[in-house]
């Protein structure tokens, strides 16, 4: 009912549809009326009618407009206009045709897709560039804003189809040009720094801490602090350095970014990165090619958008999204992807025939020994036979020949033992690895014990038969079992939508870790 009170036109802007709604305001897609029938698309933020008479909300809204108007950076949302009409304050912003990191997070979690380390680093790097500009911003008169965003969270960061990250919503930002009651706590619980949650004075390092939480959630695909309503518990966890400890539990595929997140999430602000710029430089060091990182981000974004538009669509293979040490190009076109599959198939066939040849040789060796047939066996000792045949009348000739024959057999046996050993020497690992995912939020159980929420990535298992269960939130379950062999990798992805396996693969580990 409240939304219907807002007129369809404010000033020269026609409201098209609501995009998102928060506690203070609603954002609409709108069109700006211009000459010659040109009507650019914009986003308009309007104070909720229920809060229109709330002076505190008005001050925050005006503060956002005042602060944002001084920011000009590609990684920050751009403000185009601020006005009032029919009693409604409204803020006009550039329209970002994209997704929030919250959307990205939820889609990846639903389909069991991990976000590769290189992409997490690229997302974090761009956020750092935007934050650094905001932290250093000043008014046209040269007055330093002393700006701290105070509300860095997945829903306040967007990604568009060009692979550009945008930090949005400076509604609760702290700036030196605006007056505020000392000790005021503003922001979102679960993303606050320890000093912010305690109402202590803030520096720009508080935003660095919040960004560390956001990047952690992009990796783990689950909130760092799930119960955000329990503020007392969150304060206790923050004071106990729980945020930094949780980084140690991240998968090994993210080993290069873990030390950076550990530093960003230190309880003591002085132990964190001094600036967002410093953190951005550290994150950029994880990518050997920033151009390729941007291309990979564009490709990943397109795939996520496809999955959102068609939830039953089959996603890319789980390991295709896993980060590679040399950096894989996720923007590879369909032809390139099929080429990779073809080359992989050829390699598998070659290994199969080589392995088959080894096994065949191993089986044939004893048969050749039993057959006393000539060519391969008699060839090493022809001279011995000629020497003994000089004296045909010697009575003990048969005995000598028999002795020589035994000698030949012993020689052959030595060849049997030595040759296969060199060819089939394999280092035993004593374990296998399993990756299990699903297309909806699920929990993974192994041998009746809960391990973690899907996706389960490269989990080590002892050799032998194991029972597995994938259970979703609706109570649906998929039970299966298989025998883990030494040095093998197992990939299982179950679709609860189609009630079928999307990926089911066993292969020898080429780079176990």
% of residues, the chain, pLDDT over 70: 74
Band the pLDDT of 175: cuts 50, 70, 90. confident
DSSP secondary structure of 333-345: -HHHHHHHHHHHH
Over 60: is that where the pLDDT of 390 sits? no
Band the pLDDT of 512: cuts 50, 70, 90. low
| Cα angle for residues 121, 125, 131 (degrees, 5° grid) | 140
Phi, psi of 326 (to 5 degrees): -90, -5
Task: Quote the CA–CA distance of 228 and 126 in Å, as a whole number.
Answer: 27
User: Is the link from the previous residue into 455 a cis peptide, with omega within 30 of 0?
Assistant: yes
Catalytic annotation, residues: 151
Residue 479 is predicted with a pLDDT of 93
- The most confident of the ranges 179-188, 226-235, 261-270 is 261-270
Over range 330-340, report the average pLDDT.
47
Over 60: is that where the pLDDT of 104 sits? yes
Over 80: is that where the pLDDT of 156 sits? yes
Bigger pLDDT: 328 vs 64 = 64
Of 296, 289, 343, nearest in space to 320 by CA:
296
Burial environment of residue 379 by CB neighbours within 10 A (0 to 12, 13 to 18, 19 or more)? exposed
Phi, psi of 36 (to 5 degrees): 60, 25
Residue 281 is predicted with a pLDDT of 96
Band the pLDDT of 411: cuts 50, 70, 90. very low
Band the pLDDT of 137: cuts 50, 70, 90. very high
String of b and e for 197-223 (b: at least 16 CB within 10 Å)? beeeebbbbbbbbbbbbbbbbbbbbee
Residue 313 is predicted with a pLDDT of 61
pTM, 2 dp: 0.63
Task: Quote the CA–CA distance of 114 and 279 in Å, as a whole number.
Answer: 23
């Amino acid at each position: 009912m409240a939304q219907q009170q807002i007129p369809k036109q404010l000033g020269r802007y026609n409201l098209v549809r609501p995009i998102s709604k928060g506690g203070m305001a609603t954002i609409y897609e709108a069109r700006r009326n211009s000459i010659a029938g040109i009507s650019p698309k914009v986003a308009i933020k309007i104070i909720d009618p229920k809060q229109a008479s709330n002076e505190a909300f008005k001050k925050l809204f005006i503060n956002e407009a005042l602060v944002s108007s001084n920011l000009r950076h590609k990684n920050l949302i751009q403000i185009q206009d601020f006005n009032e009409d029919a009693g409604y304050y409204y803020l006009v912003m550039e329209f970002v045709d994209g997704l929030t990191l919250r959307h990205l997070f939820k889609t990846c979690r639903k389909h069991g897709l991990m976000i590769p380390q290189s992409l997490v680093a690229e997302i974090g790097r761009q956020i750092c560039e935007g934050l650094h500009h905001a932290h250093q911003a000043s008014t046209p008169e040269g007055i330093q804003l002393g700006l701290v965003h105070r509300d860095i969270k997945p829903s306040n960061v967007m990604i568009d189809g060009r692979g550009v990250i945008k930090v949005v919503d400076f509604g609760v930002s702290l700036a030196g040009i605006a007056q505020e009651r000392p000790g005021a706590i503003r922001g979102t619980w679960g993303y606050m720094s320890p000093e912010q949650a305690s109402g202590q004075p803030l520096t720009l390092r508080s935003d660095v801490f919040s960004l560390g939480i956001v990047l952690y959630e992009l990796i783990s695909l689950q909130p760092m602090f799930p119960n955000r309503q329990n503020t007392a518990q969150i304060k206790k966890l923050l004071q106990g350095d729980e945020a930094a400890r949780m980084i140690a539990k991240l998968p090994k595929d993210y080993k290069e970014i873990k030390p950076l997140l550990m530093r960003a999430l230190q309880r003591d602000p002085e132990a964190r990165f001094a600036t967002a710029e410093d953190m951005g430089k550290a994150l950029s060091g994880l990518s050997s090619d920033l151009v390729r990182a941007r291309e990979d981000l564009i490709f990943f974004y397109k795939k996520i958008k496809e999955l959102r538009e068609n939830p039953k669509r089959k996603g890319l293979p789980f390991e295709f999204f896993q980060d590679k040490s040399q950096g894989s190009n996720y923007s590879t076109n369909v032809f390139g992807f099929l080429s990779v599959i073809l080359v992989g198939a050829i390699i598998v066939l070659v290994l199969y025939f080589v392995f088959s040849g080894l096994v065949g040789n191993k089986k044939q060796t004893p048969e050749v020994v039993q057959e006393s047939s000539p060519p391969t066996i008699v060839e090493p000792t022809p001279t011995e036979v000629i020497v003994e045949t000089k004296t045909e009348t010697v009575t003990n000739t048969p005995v000598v020949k028999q002795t020589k024959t035994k000698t030949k057999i012993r020689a052959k046996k030595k060849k049997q033992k030595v040759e296969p050993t060199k060819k089939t020497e394999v280092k035993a690992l004593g374990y296998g690895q399993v990756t299990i995912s699903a297309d909806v939020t699920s929990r993974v159980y192994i041998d009746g014990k809960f391990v973690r929420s899907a996706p389960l990535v490269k989990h080590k298992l002892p050799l032998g038969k194991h029972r597995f269960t994938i259970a979703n939130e609706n109570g649906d379950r998929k039970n299966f079992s298989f025998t883990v062999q030494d040095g093998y990798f197992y990939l299982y992805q179950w679709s609860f939508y189609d009630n079928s396996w999307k990926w089911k693969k066993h292969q020898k580990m080429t780079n176990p870790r």
